[in-house]
């Protein structure tokens, strides 16, 4: 038996999962770096999640990504959960350790900030307020990341006020909740603007928040990446803002898991973007 007799396996668990671009991304990196390994999509029902996770290490899996609807559930099934995953209340990256323990982490926030720093290098998050639209799992990761990089104030608006209030309760005084009808009125002097909702995504309702009050010095990003250039980004660019699409966050959040599973820290560059967009 040699060390490479058992080829490492990884993948992404969700339901549905056929739309995921993660297999194309990790498959590209495996080929690019000449590594042994496979990364596969797995459609797993909620009722089967515990059994599937228990069986995966015995099948040769070294870890996996987790997406909707399992990102919250895996927190309760993991043996070790990082502080940031606990804060966010969800995990997107699992590592199956050699001692049999499941290690859960959330890399969405670090992927978010890495995307902005790469594609808007002049971004200074500590220099003014941030506006965040949405209050789901992605918003939690974004808010945690914004607080970590020193944003002084976060103006949060969500179509359901109660969910936004819950985030305010969890993340503290830096978060100021506004009614959704005011979503366009909280933009004045904001230097960071983030859409974490599904509005504007292919097959979802259009993004209709008025953008007249946009600060032309703001960095505006949309976590939606299908389409890549959303209405929000098109209008923000026309207003003079620096815009960053959501694909980079997908790429950057994937890198830490790939490194842990396959032993190489992958580079996120234009070739990587092109490979994923070609799928």
User: Which residue out of 71, 174, 204, 217 is catalytically annotated?
Assistant: 71
- DSSP characters over 141-160: HHHHHHHHTT-S-EEEE-SS
Neighbours of 131 (CB within 10 A): 27
Distance CA 169, CA 183 (A): 20
CA 183 to chain centre: 22
Distance CA 236, CA 228 (A): 14
SS3 57: helix
Task: Record the tokens describing residue 184, joined without a space.
Answer: 């366009």
Residue 174 annotated among the catalytic residues of the structure: no
Distance CA 188, CA 160 (A): 22
Task: Record the tokens describing residue 188, joined without a space.
Answer: 């004045």
Distance CA 209, CA 186 (A): 11
In angstroms, the Cα distances linking 130 to 8, 82, 186, 191, 229 are: 41, 26, 9, 6, 21
Catalytic residues: 71
């Amino acid at each position: 038996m040699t060390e490479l007799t058992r080829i490492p396996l990884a993948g992404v668990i969700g339901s549905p999962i056929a739309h995921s671009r993660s297999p194309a991304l990790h498959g590209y990196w495996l080929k690019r770096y000449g590594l042994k390994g496979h990364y596969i999509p797995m459609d797993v029902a909620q009722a089967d999640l515990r059994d599937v996770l228990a069986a995966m290490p015995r099948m040769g899996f070294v870890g996996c990504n987790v997406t909707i609807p399992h990102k919250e559930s895996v927190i309760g099934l993991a043996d070790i959960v990082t502080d940031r995953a606990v804060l966010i209340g969800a995990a997107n990256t699992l590592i199956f350790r050699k001692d049999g323990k499941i290690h859960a982490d959330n890399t969405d926030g670090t992927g978010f900030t890495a995307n902005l720093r790469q594609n808007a290098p002049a971004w200074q998050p500590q220099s003014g307020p941030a506006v965040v639209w949405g209050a789901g799992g992605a918003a939690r990761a974004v808010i945690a990341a914004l607080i970590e990089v020193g944003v002084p104030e976060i103006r949060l608006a969500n179509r359901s006020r109660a969910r936004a209030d819950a985030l305010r309760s969890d993340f503290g005084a830096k978060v100021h909740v506004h009614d959704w009808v005011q979503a366009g009125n909280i933009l004045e002097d904001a230097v960071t603007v983030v859409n974490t909702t599904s509005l504007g995504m292919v097959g979802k309702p259009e993004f209709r928040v008025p953008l007249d009050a946009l600060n032309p010095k703001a960095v505006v990003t949309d976590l939606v990446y299908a389409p890549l250039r959303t209405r929000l980004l098109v209008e923000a660019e026309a207003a003079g803002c620096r815009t960053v699409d959501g694909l980079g966050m997908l790429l950057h959040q994937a890198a830490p898991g790939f490194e842990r599973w396959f032993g190489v820290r992958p580079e996120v560059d234009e070739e990587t973007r092109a490979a994923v967009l070609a799928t």
